[in-house]
Copies of this chain bind each other. A is one copy, B any other.
Amino acid sequence: MHISGQTRVFMVIGDPVAQVRAPVLFNRIFQQHDIDAVLVPAHVPAGRAASFAREVLGSGSIAGLWATVPHKPALLPALSGIDVHGRRAGSVNAVRRAADGTLEGALFDGLGLVGALAHHGIALAGRRVLLLGAGGAGAAIAAALLDTPIAQLSIHDLGDRARRLVERLQSEGSGPRLHAASADPAGHDLIIQATPLGMNPADPLPLDVERIEPGTQVFDILMKSATTPLMRACAARGIEAHAGFEMLVQQVPAYLEFFGLPEVARAMRADLSGVRQVITA
């Protein structure tokens, strides 16, 4: 990796940021494709994301920001433009400078989920989906699922979070297939787990696995380990379940395209195996 005064710089911001895998992944892609660009981490304190984005993207050579927790919703006040998923979910994970100098954001988490389901051969047409978790990840996933031919989307979370997300999505012009629901898997044939439950060994399972109907497919977006407690409980009952890593893999081409590298994005779409290797390493 050769960094000169002419190298385009991208940053990934988070609080914390030490855990992010984006620099390893994207710097490898830049090198492999001979792109004179580098992605570096920046630990930006909560509350500073919007001003940080405005200031660093005022630099002509800093080409874009990746954003992770807790900055995804906090970036919105800095943006003049936002893609449809970001607007529905109220958060973005990528920000770039438009030709007129204003900032544009986009949200790729939901695209990543939809791509991951396709990768695992999970069809969406006509499915009755239960989404557990209406936080940042859940909102991003719901925002993208509204563009797919699913039959219905039930969203569950604690308190009134699910109801508020449903109202937000409906106010963005989305249809009647959407409602807040309990965590009961009965009556659903695709379950997407987007709560933090499973991060700690003492966590309860996010739903009653005994009530999952045969033939239902489960996708757990937790990325702490290759096999989550929910996946193990499903396996014990013969229920098909998949881990979240593929969500990250599937977002990679969208980032590259957003940041003005369509040829690299195309090459990645044709073969994501190298990306998969880095992310699951």
Binding site for B on A (CB under 8 A): 1-7, 9, 12-14, 17-24, 27, 38-45, 48, 51-52, 55-56, 58-62
Distance to closest chain B CB from A146 (angstroms) = 32
Q: What is the chain B residue whose CB lies nearest that of A40?
A: B9
Q: How many copies does the complex hold?
A: 2
Q: CB within 8 A of A59: which of B9, B18, B24, B52? A: B52
Complex Cα distance, B59 from A40, in Å, reads 12
Q: Is A42 touching B9 in the complex (CB atoms < 8 A)?
A: yes
- Contact residues in B for A45 (Cβ distance below 8 Å): 58-60
Q: What is the chain B residue whose CB lies nearest that of A23?
A: B3
Complex Cα distance, B58 from A55, in Å, reads 12
Q: Is A61 touching B38 in the complex (CB atoms < 8 A)?
A: no
Q: What is the chain B residue whose CB lies nearest that of A15?
A: B60
**What are 12 sample pairs from A and B whose C-beta atoms fall under 8 A apart?**
A3-B24, A3-B40, A4-B41, A5-B12, A5-B22, A7-B40, A9-B41, A40-B40, A41-B61, A42-B56, A42-B59, A48-B58
Q: Is B61 touching A17 in the complex (CB atoms < 8 A)?
A: yes
Distance to closest chain B CB from A86 (angstroms) = 23
Q: What is the chain B residue whose CB lies nearest that of A17?
A: B5
Q: Is B61 touching A43 in the complex (CB atoms < 8 A)?
A: yes
Complex Cα distance, B54 from A51, in Å, reads 11
- Contact residues in B for A20 (Cβ distance below 8 Å): 5
Complex Cα distance, B62 from A48, in Å, reads 14
Q: Is B24 touching A6 in the complex (CB atoms < 8 A)?
A: no
Q: Is B27 touching A3 in the complex (CB atoms < 8 A)?
A: yes
Q: What is the chain B residue whose CB lies nearest that of A53?
A: B55
Distance to closest chain B CB from A217 (angstroms) = 32
Given A5-B19, A20-B5, residue A61 in contact with residue B39 (CB < 8 A): no
**Could you list 20 further interchain pairs (A-B, Cβ under 8 angstroms) beyond the known A4-B23, A17-B61, A48-B55?**
A1-B1, A3-B38, A3-B40, A5-B17, A5-B22, A6-B18, A6-B41, A7-B41, A9-B40, A38-B38, A40-B40, A41-B61, A42-B61, A42-B62, A43-B59, A43-B60, A43-B61, A45-B58, A48-B59, A55-B56
Complex Cα distance, B7 from A12, in Å, reads 12
Q: What is the chain B residue whose CB lies nearest that of A11?
A: B9
Q: CB within 8 A of A2: which of B24, B39, B43, B48? A: B24
Q: Is B56 touching A52 in the complex (CB atoms < 8 A)?
A: yes
- Contact residues in B for A2 (Cβ distance below 8 Å): 24
